């Protein structure tokens, strides 16, 4: 069993597609073992995306991630990290395969509907950023 972190971003929350996105996970064999809707602070968003701090898009990314509430979710299942990435599609929705979450719900590379951990190692770090073990069941 593997775990990964998903964030439904402010654009998708504002569009009212939380349920549709969570359904994609459950319909594809991933179990929702923890979930929370929350408003990120600037400090939260800067810390979560610290790995991108030197990238030119960092400021816009942080501004966008605090522009409204997000839904953070821990997904569990065999190959959960890769399955979630396949369900999301490419980072840029214009390059995302038909039928993926980003192709169906995202507008552009900033407002791209979802974030998903990009490795099992990063998944453990990202899950611990939002949840303690007692939140996960
Ligand atoms: P996410 O998976 O949340 O990880 C970092 C985010 O930065 C990414 O999704 C995009 O929404 C955003 N971003 C903006 N521009 C770029 C870019 N050129 N390359 C990668 N990510 C970008």
Active site residue 115: yes
Supply the pLDDT for residue 72.
99
Supply the pLDDT for residue 27.
98
Q: Which residues line ligand 1 (CB under 6 A)?
A: 52, 57, 61, 91, 109-110, 112, 115
Residue 43's H or E segment, with its range, is: helix 42-48
pLDDT digits (tens, 9 = 90+) for 68-95: 999 999 999 999 999 999 999 999 999 9
C-alpha to C-alpha distances, 68 to 18, 43, 112, 121, nearest whole angstrom? 13, 15, 14, 28
Q: Which atom of ligand 1 is nearest the CA belonging to 111? A: 11
CA of 36 from ligand 1 middle (Å) equals: 22
Low-confidence residues of the chain, pLDDT below 50? none
Whether residue 10 contacts residue 64, with contact meaning beta carbons closer than 8 Å, is answered with yes
Q: How far apart are CA 51 and CA 70, in angstroms?
A: 20
Supply the pLDDT for residue 96.
98
Supply the pLDDT for residue 125.
98
Residue 135 has φ and ψ, to the nearest 5°, of -80, -15
Nearest to 113 by CA among 129, 130, 90, 97: 90
pTM: 0.98
Q: Which of 115, 123, 127, 131 is catalytic?
A: 115
């Amino acid at each position: 069993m593997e775990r990964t972190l998903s964030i439904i971003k402010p654009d998708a929350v504002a569009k009212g597609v939380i349920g549709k996105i969570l359904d994609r996970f459950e319909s594809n064999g991933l179990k929702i073992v923890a979930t929370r809707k929350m408003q990120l602070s600037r400090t939260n968003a800067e810390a979560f995306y610290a790995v991108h701090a030197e990238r030119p898009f960092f400021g816009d990314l942080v501004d966008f991630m605090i522009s409204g509430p997000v839904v953070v979710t821990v997904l569990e299942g065999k190959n959960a990290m890769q399955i979630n990435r396949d369900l999301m599609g490419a980072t840029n929705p214009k390059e995302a395969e038909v039928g993926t979450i980003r192709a169906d719900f995202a507008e552009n590379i900033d407002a791209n509907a979802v974030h998903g951990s990009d490795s099992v190692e990063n998944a453990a770090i990202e899950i611990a950023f939002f949840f303690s073990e007692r939140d996960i069941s």
